[in-house]
A = this chain, B = another copy of it.
């Protein structure tokens, strides 16, 4: 029997990815949603999580797709009501609240899944396998995109807990922490903050592996024209380039066929498996690197940003 799933937060990511992925899955059936303003044809939409949980609709699981600042309250209520919960990335606005949800899920015997979608890009698994056997000399992460194109009018993303350019940047960090075989940590860095905003529009992070290899990251939301989401690793056996956010893989300039992009179908397949196996999967490592960046980096002013 399919898992009866509801979506909380009918914004861009729910419509672009979650609803199509659920519709294409035999393992899930979309039965309801909660949103202050969004709608879906043929599905009851409640204004709040409380209304959704209290409406008598039979629900097994809830996908949390709202902005991270509002995620904890809704997820805690869903877990306490015995629902399995999928958290869009980032899984929360703080590390300690994600830890709290993890504890609640353990106490409720429900599945909690922090879904780092970029880890399911098709080049990521082969990149991880290839890098596991190599000695890495240096890593460069370049994540440059146009915020106006990808986050049109999203004001929450510029607020505290909205992460600014770390909203896409954490995708890069979720891949890097997954494919690099050695632990790495932040040594120094800088954040560029528009004078009229609370969150960074660009960041440079000087990180280092436990073996001393530099891991350098540049995130920038002011990129017009071609968009760049690349991770390059120089190793003792050649240079690996994981491009297009994990969708393309090349080694020493030779492209490898990694198949088509299907991040969200993979996420829902994994969510179904976790539910069947009564397990949770909540990796806070990418969020911890972001928290370190906010704590450790120097902030410098940038020009005001208007949508």
Chain A interface residues (CB < 8 Å from chain B): 72, 93-97, 99-100, 103-104, 160-161, 163, 183-188, 198, 210, 288-292, 294-299
Contact = CB atoms under 8 A, between A and B. Distances in A.
A177 to B, nearest CB: 10
Contacts of A288: 95-96, 288, 291
Nearest to A93: B296
Contacts of A198: 298-299
Given A184-B96, A185-B94, A298-B160, A210 B292 contact: no
Nearest to A198: B298
Q: How many copies are assembled?
A: 2
A298 B294 CA distance: 12
B292 A183 contact: no
Given A160-B297, A198-B298, A298-B198, A185 B292 contact: no
- 6 closest A-B pairs by beta carbon, nearest first, are A96-B185, A291-B291, A94-B292, A294-B295, A294-B294, A97-B185
Given A95-B288, A96-B289, A288-B95, A183 B103 contact: yes
B100 A183 contact: yes
Contact of A103 (B163, B210, B294): B210
B295 A295 contact: yes
Contacts of A186: 94, 96-97
Given A72-B185, A294-B294, 14 more contacts: A94-B296, A95-B95, A95-B288, A96-B184, A96-B289, A97-B187, A100-B185, A103-B183, A103-B210, A160-B296, A161-B296, A288-B291, A290-B295, A291-B291
A199 to B, nearest CB: 10
B291 A95 contact: yes
Contacts of A103: 183, 210
A115 B6 CA distance: 46
A101 to B, nearest CB: 9
Contacts of A185: 72, 94, 96-97, 99-100
